[in-house]
Structures are given as C-alpha cells and as structure tokens.
C-alpha cells in the first residue's frame, strides 16, 4: 500500500518582495529570477517537515506563489508531491540525496531550515544548478542552554530523582551528584554555539575550560577564559565534562571513537548536541560499560532517523549491516539509566524557531529577487 501524503495547497494575489543585504553577484541568477517573476509563471514553493511553519503567515508573505505544505519528511516516496516545485524548504531529518533530487525535476532552490547541511547532497545540487541556502545562525544560545540542561541533569541525577519521587519514594540513596564549579569542561568545536557554552561555563559555573578546534582564535580564548589544547586526546584525558559542538564532515565522522575513548578521564560525562555521527555508538556503549564514562547526555544519535521512524521499519526498508547494529545500540542507550536522550530538541525554543522561520523567508525572497543569500556550496 502506498504512503498517504497530507498536502495543503495555497495560491493567491500579488507578491511584494523586498531587498536583502549580503547578496551574491547577480550575473547567472538574473535570467532565472526574471522567469520566476514573470506575469505568466506562478512559482511553486513546497514546505516539508512543516511542523514549525506558519502557514497563514507564509500565505501572506507569498500571495502570488503556489504553496504546498507536506508534513512528512522529504524522501523518494514523498518527493513526487512536490514535482512542480521550483523552491523546496525542508529540515535536517530529510535526507536530500541523489534519488530524492531526481524526483524533483523543476527544483531550482533548496533552503534548509537548519545550520548544518550534511543531510543534503551538495555535489548533485551543484551539478544540476540547484542553489542551496541554510539558516546560518539561530540557536547559538538556545543549543548552549540545552547543553547545560543535559549537563546538569547528569551531574545532579535529575532524571533519577524525578523518576523516584514519581513513585512517591523520597530516599536519596544513589542520588549524590557532583558540583560543576572547579571542574574542567572540554569543548570540542568553538564556533557560535561552542563559544556560548564556554561563556556559560565560565561565568555561570566557574568551570575551567579546555577547547579543541582546528581553527584557533587566541583573542577569543583570552576573552572567554579558555585554553586551547594541542590535540583531542589531551582534552579527553583532562576533562570532567566533554561536550561536542563540531559540524559533521567526513573528517569529523566518529570523532569520538574506539581508538580514543579509552583515553577519556575516568568518571567523565559526555554530551552531544551537535551531530550523532560525531560519536561512535559502539565506542560510547563500551566506555559506559567499562565505567570510563559515568554518563552521557545526547540530543542526537547515529542513524537517528531510523529510531524516529521505528514503526515504518516494520513495513518498509530495514537498515542493513552496520546501520542496523547502530539502531539496536541506540535502543540500548535509551534504556540505560546513566544516559539521557532528548529527540534532537536542543534548537526547539519559541525564539529560535521564529529566527529559523524569518531567515527561511528571507532566503526564499532573496532567491526570487535573483539575489540568493546564505548560500552553501559543495566543497571539493
């Protein structure tokens, strides 16, 4: 039986596009923009994973365009619903690969409502002349705050305490935690989110901070009071709390691995609010079982889409080999008392979602005006 799609469509009156800063050079976009804005052509915009999309506001902002609202993830099965779309907006759980792009023959512009774009095949987009934009900043403080929510939940055993009192048991046996003040925080990746984590750690909790980043900024280190380490092993061996804020790239795949996790300071906790594949799930389970890590707080998991769509696995494609093993290990992680898992929710505040929406609108309006902004290009 085919998958049933819930699609809403809207088409109305006149468009009022406005200018934007930080435009790319016009050249090759002018003829495209002219065609898209012509009186005889109605542009179709498709929004996938549109839980946080304000439909009525979009109808007001794009009155001349045809709007399609598709709650499901963008995939091979759902893409045909947007075959007529020149513009597609989606989120991080949609894997926009070659097969999916093949189902979108008219696609000219893809805007992801996310900072990262590792879920998009940028090379294929470039080959087809599809422009890709993202939201470069929306959750620097939002994700940093969620990071500390996980750290505190681990350090003060909040989940175990809550679970016990829910059963009307008020003894404190096994609930002793540890102070953050004076402890060493290891921050992997000192970008926009990582530097806010450093700021909170230093100013709010009087922690010592070590940082590992391929691009070092001595002035930033002096301003925020952290120290760069020469290599990742040094950070792992000295940190009481380790938190990841690096992008997912081929070079950062399994940044925490079976090879280096044994070097982690015994009794440390690990937090990941960045990308699931930065951490080798097998290595993480091993470190927890061996008592090297005393806990982990995870907002992201390897192969997390398979976990989220568990019911569909029973009737659709079942992951094979290592993917299936990772899915099974994720289930073990979720069941453990020393692991806290949140559903890729670190970004999800009212303020951050509003910033995502506003920037996505700006991205679309700028593209329609022939001056794309926040463009992402494939790396060689």
Q: Quick: pLDDT tens for 94-142.
A: 999 999 999 999 999 999 999 989 999 999 999 999 999 999 999 899 9
Among 304, 329, 355, 362, the active-site one is 304
Is there a single domain that holds both residue 69 and residue 110? yes
Catalytic residue among 119, 134, 329, 344: 344
* 12 included as an active-site residue: no
Within 13 Å and on the Cβ side, how many CA atoms surround 246? 26
Which residue in 113, 119, 275, 355 is the catalytic one?
275
219 and 104 together in one domain: no
Q: Do 243 and 323 sit in the same domain of this protein? A: yes
**Is 291 found in the same domain as 188?**
yes
- With respect to residue 1, please indicate whether it lies within any of the assigned structural domains: no
Residues 110, 152 within the same domain:
no
275 counts as catalytic: yes
Q: Are strands 375-376 and 131-133 parallel, antiparallel or unpaired?
A: antiparallel
**197-225: average pLDDT:** 97
Distance (Å, whole) CA 44 – CA 11: 9
Percent of the chain with pLDDT over 70: 84
pLDDT at 322: 54
Residue 16 lies in a domain: yes
**Cβ partners under 8 Å of residue 288, min gap 6:** 295, 296, 336, 338, 339
Q: Do 150 and 125 reside in the same domain of the chain? A: no
Does residue 37 lie in a domain region? Answer: yes
Q: Is the residue at 64 inside a domain?
A: yes
Tell me if 3 is assigned to some domain: no
- pLDDT recorded at residue 325: 85
Residues 98 and 171 in one domain: no
- CA distances to 120, 254, 264, 317 from 324, rounded to whole Å, are 22, 17, 27, 11
Query: How large is the average pLDDT for residues 344-350?
Result: 94
Residue 166 lies in a domain: yes
Q: pLDDT tier at 93 (50, 70, 90 boundaries)?
A: confident
| 344 has catalytic annotation | yes
Asked if residue 255 is part of any domain, the answer here is yes
Domain count, the chain: 2
78, 65: one domain: yes
Arithmetic mean of pLDDT over the chain: 88
Q: Is 370 left (phi over 0), alpha (psi -120 to 50) or beta?
A: left
Cβ-contact 288, 296 below 8 angstroms: yes
Q: Which residue has the tokens 């681990």?
A: 154
What pLDDT does 15 receive?
39
Same domain, 80 and 154: no
**CATH number of the structural domain spanning residue 155:** 3.40.50.720
Q: Which of 101, 103, 45, 95 is nearest to 70 (CA)?
A: 45
**Does one domain contain both 312 and 192?**
yes
Task: Tell whether 292 and 154 lie within a shared domain.
Answer: yes
Confidence label for 343 from pLDDT (cuts 50, 70 and 90)? very high
Tell me what the mean pLDDT of segment 24-47 comes to: 64
Taking the model in full, what pTM does it have?
Answer: 0.84
Full 3-state SS string of the chain? CCCCCCCEEEECCCCCCCCCCCCCCCHHHHHHHHHHCCCCCCCEEEEECHHHCCHHHHHHHCCCCEEEEECCCCCCCCHHHHCCCCEEEECCCCCECHHHHHCCCCCCEEEECCCCCCCECHHHHHHHCCEEECCCCCCHHHHHHHHHHHHHHHHCCHHHHHHHHHCCCCCCCCCCCCCCCCCEEEEECCCHHHHHHHHHHHHHHCCEEEEECCCCCHHHHHHHCCEECCCHHHHHHHCCEEEECCCCCHHHCCCECCCCHHHCCCCEEEEECCCHHHECHHHHHHHHHCCCEEEEEECCCCCHHHHHCHHHHCCCCCCCHHHHHHHHHHHHHHHCCCEEECCCCCCCCHHHHHHHHHHHHHHHHHHHCCCCCCEECCCC
Structure tokens at 100: 């999916």
Where in the sequence is the domain holding 276, given as residue range(s)?
140-341
Based on the fold, state whether residues 180 and 321 are members of the same structural domain: yes
Judge whether 234 lies within some domain: yes
């Amino acid at each position: 039986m085919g998958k049933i799609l819930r699609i809403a469509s809207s088409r109305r009156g006149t468009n009022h596009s406005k200018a934007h800063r930080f435009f790319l050079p016009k050249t090759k976009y002018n003829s495209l923009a002219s065609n898209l804005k012509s009186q005889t052509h109605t542009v179709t915009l498709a929004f996938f994973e549109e839980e946080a999309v304000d439909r009525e506001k979009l109808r007001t902002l794009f009155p001349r365009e045809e709007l399609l609202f598709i709650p499901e993830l963008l995939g091979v099965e759902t893409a045909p619903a947007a075959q007529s779309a020149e513009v597609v907006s989606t989120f991080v759980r949609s894997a926009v690969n070659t097969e999916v792009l093949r189902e979108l023959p008219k696609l000219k512009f893809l805007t992801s409502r996310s900072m990262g774009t590792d879920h998009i095949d940028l090379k294929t987009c470039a080959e087809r002349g599809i422009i890709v934009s993202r939201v470069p900043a929306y959750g620097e403080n939002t994700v940093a705050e969620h990071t500390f929510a996980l750290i505190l939940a681990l350090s003060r055993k909040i989940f175990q305490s809550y679970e016990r009192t829910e059963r009307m048991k008020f003894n404190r046996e096994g609930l002793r935690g540890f102070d953050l003040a004076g402890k060493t925080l290891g921050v992997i990746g000192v970008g926009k989110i990582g530097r806010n984590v450093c700021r909170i750690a230093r100013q709010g909790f009087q922690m010592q901070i070590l940082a590992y980043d391929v691009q070092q900024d001595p002035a930033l280190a002096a301003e925020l009071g952290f120290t760069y380490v020469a290599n990742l092993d040094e950070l792992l061996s000295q940190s009481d709390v380790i938190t990841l804020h690096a992008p997912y790239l081929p070079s950062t795949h399994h940044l925490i691995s079976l090879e280096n996790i044994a070097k982690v300071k015994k009794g440390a906790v690990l937090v990941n609010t960045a990308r699931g594949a930065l951490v080798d799930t097998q290595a993480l389970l091993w470190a927890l079982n061996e008592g090297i890590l005393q806990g982990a707080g995870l907002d992201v998991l390897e192969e997390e889409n398979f976990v989220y769509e568990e019911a569909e696995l029973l009737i659709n494609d079942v992951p094979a080999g290592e993917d299936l093993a990772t899915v099974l290990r994720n289930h073990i992680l979720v069941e453990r008392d020393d692991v806290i898992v949140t559903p890729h929710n670190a970004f999800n505040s009212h303020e951050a979602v509003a910033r995502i929406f506003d920037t996505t609108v700006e991205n679309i309006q700028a593209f329609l005006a022939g001056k794309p902004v926040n463009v992402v290009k494939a790396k060689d």
